[in-house]
C-alpha cells in the first residue's frame, strides 16, 4: 500500500509532526510512503497539520481509499488502526490465496495421479503354459489331481493327455485386471466363469478383458468386466464376467454411464 504525506507550513506546530510520521514508517515497513511533491495520487493520504487549525489544503490530492487530516498526536492512532486493519486484510487475503493455491495443486496432483479409464476399454495378456506351471499351481493350491500332473494317467482320460487346471487358465483374466485393466489397487468382488475347452501343456493362451459397464458411488466405482481366454488356434477356452471395485482416489471413469454399443462379451 502507498501512503502519501503532505505537511502544513508548520507555523504553529504543537507536536513533533515528523516524529509521528517516522513512527508510522517504523510500524509499517511494508508500506511505501511518498510526498505530495512526488505524486498526487495515493492509496492513503496523510495531511499532517501541526495544530487544530488544520489549514493545510487537500486540493489536488487523490486518495484511492482514505484521506486523513491529522491535527494532533492522538489522530495518528486512527491512522495506525486503519493501516493495521488493511495490513491484516492483506495478510488474510494472501494466506487465503496460498491455501487456495495449495488446494488446487493438491487437487491437480490427485487428479493427475488417478488412472483414467473408459467403458469399452480393453487389455490383453498372453502366456504359454507348461508342465512346470501346472506343477507350481498344484503345489500352491494343493490340487494334485493326476489329470493335471500325471502324464501316464492322463493318457487314459477322454483327453488323452494332461489338462492344465481350469482355474490356472482363468487366473490369466485376473492377471489382466490386476495389472492392466483396471490395474493395481482394485478389489475383485465377483466372478462368473465358464470353462469351455481344455488347455494342454504347451498351449499359448491370450486373456482379453473389456470394461463393459460401470456403476458410480460416492467414493468408488464398481466396474463390470467381460473376459475370455483364447488358445493359439483362436478357440475360446474360458469366458468370465467379473466385477471390480475401484476407489476414486486411484481411478476416474470418463464415461461411467456410457454402455451403448459395448457388448457383454469380447
> How far is 120 from 56, CA to CA, in rounded Å?
79
Mean pLDDT of the chain: 89
Average pLDDT for 115-134: 94
Q: Does 84 share its domain with 121? A: no
Q: Does 45 share its domain with 126? A: no
> How far is 6 from 115, CA to CA, in rounded Å?
63
Count of domains observed in the chain: 2
**Residue at a domain's end among 32, 55, 89:** 89
Q: Does 161 share its domain with 236? A: yes
Is pLDDT above 60 for 264? no
> How far is 221 from 246, CA to CA, in rounded Å?
5
Model pLDDT for residues 83-92, shown as the tens digit of each residue:
889 888 888 8
Residue 99 lies in a domain: no
Residue 41 lies in a domain: yes
Note the pLDDT of residue 266. 40
Note the pLDDT of residue 98. 75
Q: Does 62 share its domain with 166? A: no
- CATH code assigned at 208: 3.10.129.10
Q: Name residues whose C-beta falls within 8 Å of residue 62's C-beta, 6 or more positions apart in sequence.
A: 40, 41, 42, 45
Note the pLDDT of residue 194. 97
Residue 70 lies in a domain: yes
The residue count for the chain: 266
Q: Does 54 share its domain with 131? A: no
For the record, the C-alpha cell of 219 comes out as: 467414493
The distance from CA 142 to its chain's CA centroid, rounded to whole angstroms, is: 44
> How far is 197 from 199, CA to CA, in rounded Å?
7
**Residue at a domain's end among 89, 106, 130:** 89
235 versus 11: which is more confidently predicted?
235
Residue whose C-alpha cell reads 458410480 in the numeric block:
216
**Integer-rounded Cα radius of gyration of the chain:** 40
Residue 170 lies in a domain: yes
Residue whose C-alpha cell reads 483362436 in the numeric block:
234
**Residue at a domain's end among 89, 123, 156:** 89
Is pLDDT above 90 for 154? yes
Model pLDDT for residues 158-202, shown as the tens digit of each residue:
999 999 999 999 999 999 999 999 999 999 999 999 999 999 999
Q: Does 119 share its domain with 248? A: yes
Q: Does 141 share its domain with 74? A: no
Residue 102 lies in a domain: no
Q: Does 240 share its domain with 164? A: yes
Q: Does 242 share its domain with 120? A: yes
> How far is 4 from 61, CA to CA, in rounded Å?
9
Q: Does 151 share its domain with 85? A: no
> How far is 13 from 71, CA to CA, in rounded Å?
9
Domain that holds residue 44: 2-89
- Residue 38 region, left (φ>0) first, then alpha (ψ -120 to 50), else beta? alpha
Residue 171 lies in a domain: yes
> How far is 39 from 3, CA to CA, in rounded Å?
11
**Predicted TM-score (pTM) of this structure:** 0.57
Residue 202 lies in a domain: yes
User: Per-residue confidence at 112, pLDDT binned at 50, 70, 90?
Assistant: low
Residue 261 lies in a domain: no
User: Per-residue confidence at 111, pLDDT binned at 50, 70, 90?
Assistant: low
Q: Does 129 share its domain with 75? A: no
Note the pLDDT of residue 122. 95
Q: What percentage of the chain exceeds 90 in pLDDT?
A: 57
Q: Does 15 share its domain with 75? A: yes
Amino acid at each position: 500500500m502507498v501512503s502519501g504525506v503532505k505537511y502544513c507550513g508548520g507555523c504553529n506546530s504543537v507536536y513533533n509532526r515528523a516524529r509521528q510520521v517516522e513512527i508510522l514508517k517504523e510500524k509499517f515497513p511494508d508500506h511505501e510512503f511518498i510526498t505530495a511533491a512526488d505524486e498526487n495520487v495515493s492509496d492513503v493520504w496523510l495531511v499532517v497539520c501541526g495544530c487544530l487549525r488544520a489549514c493545510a489544503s487537500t486540493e489536488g490530492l487523490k486518495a484511492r481509499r482514505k484521506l486523513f487530516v491529522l491535527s494532533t498526536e492522538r489522530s495518528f492512532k486512527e491512522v495506525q488502526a486503519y493501516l493495521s486493519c488493511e495490513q491484516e486484510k492483506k495478510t488474510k487475503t494472501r494466506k487465503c490465496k496460498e491455501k487456495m493455491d495449495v488446494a488446487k495443486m493438491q487437487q491437480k496432483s490427485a487428479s493427475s495421479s488417478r488412472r483414467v479409464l473408459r467403458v469399452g476399454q480393453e487389455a490383453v495378456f498372453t502366456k504359454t503354459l507348461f508342465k512346470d506351471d501346472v506343477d507350481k499351481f498344484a503345489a500352491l493350491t494343493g490340487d494334485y489331481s493326476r489329470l493335471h500332473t500325471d502324464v501316464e494317467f492322463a493318457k487314459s482320460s477322454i483327453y488323452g493327455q494332461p489338462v492344465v487346471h481350469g482355474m490356472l487358465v482363468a487366473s490369466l483374466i485376473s492377471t489382466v485386471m490386476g495389472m492392466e485393466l483396471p490395474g493395481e489397487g482394485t478389489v475383485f468382488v465377483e466372478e462368473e466363469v465358464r470353462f469351455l475347452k481344455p488347455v494342454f501343456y504347451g498351449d499359448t493362451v491370450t486373456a482379453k478383458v473389456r470394461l463393459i459397464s460401470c456403476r458410480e458411488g460416492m467414493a468408488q466405482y464398481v466396474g463390470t468386466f467381460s473376459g475370455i481366454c483364447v488358445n493359439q488356434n483362436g478357440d475360446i477356452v474360458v469366458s468370465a464376467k467379473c466385477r471390480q471395485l475401484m476407489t476414486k482416489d486411484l481411478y476416474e471413469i470418463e464415461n461411467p454411464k456410457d454402455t451403448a454399443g459395448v457388448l457383454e462379451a469380447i
